[in-house]
Amino acid sequence: MRLLPALLLAALVLLPAAPAPAAPPLAEGEVRAFMSQVEHASRARDVGRLAATLSPDCRIELRTRIGGQERVTLMTRDEYLEMLTSGFASFKDLQAYDYEVGEQTIAIEHDAPAATVVSQVTETIVLGGQRQVTHSEETARVERRADGLKLVAVSALTTAP
């Protein structure tokens, strides 16, 4: 008789576990609110708030076409934050800076709590008394992580005359 409970216990152990419930997809409104936080942090040149929006494993790709020259820069989160604080044209070196988001499209992924956001951005900087206006198309992947929404990848194509 003891064999039957042992067999039942063994059968229960071998049963496949029920799949974990899938996380609900992101809502467009929460993604727009998050991207607004990114915009406001950028506009304020608040590197700490901007850093809080980037996942530790975030990858950034900056492509520029300025003055007939093309350049590609690939960075980790830490390298990007270093550039903003002490690299060429860091936030602290700018006499003026503005970051304005125009048209923005959001594609929600239903298989994962993620979204792809494409934003048209105009940045205006004044450095060394020279004013420069650039236009970018920024594509960002937003994912829900344990500590909230985070940017996990950003690719920007920036052009200027």
Distances (CA, A) of 157 to 45, 108, 118: 20, 22, 11
Q: What is the pTM of this model?
A: 0.81
Helix (H, G, I), strand (E, B) or coil at 151: strand
Dump pLDDT digits (tens) for 74-127: 999 999 999 889 876 677 888 888 889 999 999 999 888 999 999 999 999 898
* H-run or E-run covering 135: strand 130-145
Tell me whether residue 124 is exposed, middle or buried, using C-beta atoms within 10 angstroms of its C-beta: 0 to 12, 13 to 18, 19 or more: middle
Domains of the chain: 22-160 (3.10.450.50)
